[in-house]
Homo-oligomer: A and B are copies of this chain.
Amino acid sequence: MNKKIKLDDVARLAGVSKATASRVLNHRGYLSQKTIDKVHQAMEDLNYRPNAIARQLYKQETMLVGLIFPTINNPYFAQLEAALEKCLYNAGYRAVMGNSENNSQKEEDYLQLLLDRQLDGLIVGAHNPAIPVYHKTSLPIVSIERIVSNQVPVVSVDNYEGGRLATQRLLDDGCQVIAHTNYPGGFASPNQARESAYRDLMKQNKRQEIVYQVPFDEPEDQKLEVIRQIFRDHPDVDGVFADNDTNARLVMTAAKEFGRHCPEDLKVIGFDGADMTRLLLPELTTIQQPIQEMAEVAVEMLLKKIAGEVTDQYKTLPVKLVDGTTA
């Protein structure tokens, strides 16, 4: 049993000082080949592993970055976090998963980890109302698709353009009564721009604006119930622009319940276009976000903040319409 071998033990066995052992461990300073070999040998004999925490205490860094998102159990967030993890890993950082759910307490807990210096940085994209601590200047935080405070840079996509593309497609399809689902988020989310685009186009085309608030962090059946209400309130609806793909799926489900056939008498278009959704539901026409690129940009920005460099405050990436058969 190799209980707790420390650098001291290695040094003793090699017949050198702790400092020297540390130097060969870190390839620092001038060492004679003889000592290097001796120390390496001792490390091997003792099966030595440096204690990461001790090192971190000295360096005051953990190489850990927290990812705070509503949930990982969703194609969009799963792909985004997977991409973030990979980018971070390549930069030597590990990702701590923080699923905030509908629980701003949990989000605060993860924020504390940063404040307690257990985390070197944070990438946030949760849906909770913003938390005061974010306003502390100069914390290494980057946000994705969420306005947190003017201290926190935001990576987002061109949501307005996405909303415009989606709505225009439905208009081009000849839809007369077009509804939109979104979630209640005030202006904390750039996401709201999707709704603005929808509303603008409805106004320009003299159409009724029909917007339903579908809660994000609730069970699917509750969401479905809200969506059913669209069909009850507007039996003549023939186009729906959903704010995300899973809601688009629920629209399709509800449509079937109401005897509506998609795409024959109801066009549906979603938002996100994650790979897994494309795989499982290729029929869905949707607005696709450049998830990989978002992750790259966010990590790049975060690394700059951690390094104390200045970064842009906003970065907006393009979206594109991906054709399926539902619109």
Which residues of A does B touch, CB under 8 Å? 1, 49-54, 56-57, 60, 62, 64, 67, 71-75, 78-79, 81-82, 85-86, 89, 94-99, 106, 110, 112-113, 115-118, 137-138, 220, 246, 249-250, 253, 275-277, 279-282
Contact = CB atoms under 8 A, between A and B. Distances in A.
A90 to B, nearest CB: 10
Nearest to A67: B97
Given A64-B96, A85-B99, A118 B52 contact: yes
A106 B98 CA distance: 21
A250 B115 CA distance: 46
Contacts of A67: 97
A13 to B, nearest CB: 19
A87 to B, nearest CB: 12
Given A95-B97, A280-B246, A73 B116 contact: no
Given A85-B99, A99-B86, A53 B56 contact: yes
Contact of A51 (B1, B117, B249, B281): B117
Contacts of A106: 89
B53 A118 contact: yes
Given A51-B116, A53-B118, A96-B97, 8 more contacts: A52-B117, A53-B53, A53-B56, A64-B96, A78-B78, A89-B106, A220-B279, A249-B280
B85 A74 contact: no
Contact of A116 (B1, B52, B113, B220): B52
A-B CB proximity, top 4 nearest: A52-B118, A52-B116, A73-B82, A280-B280
A280 B253 CA distance: 10
B79 A73 contact: yes
Given A71-B82, A72-B82, A73-B82, A253 B276 contact: no
Contacts of A118: 52-53, 56, 62
Nearest to A86: B99
Nearest to A101: B86
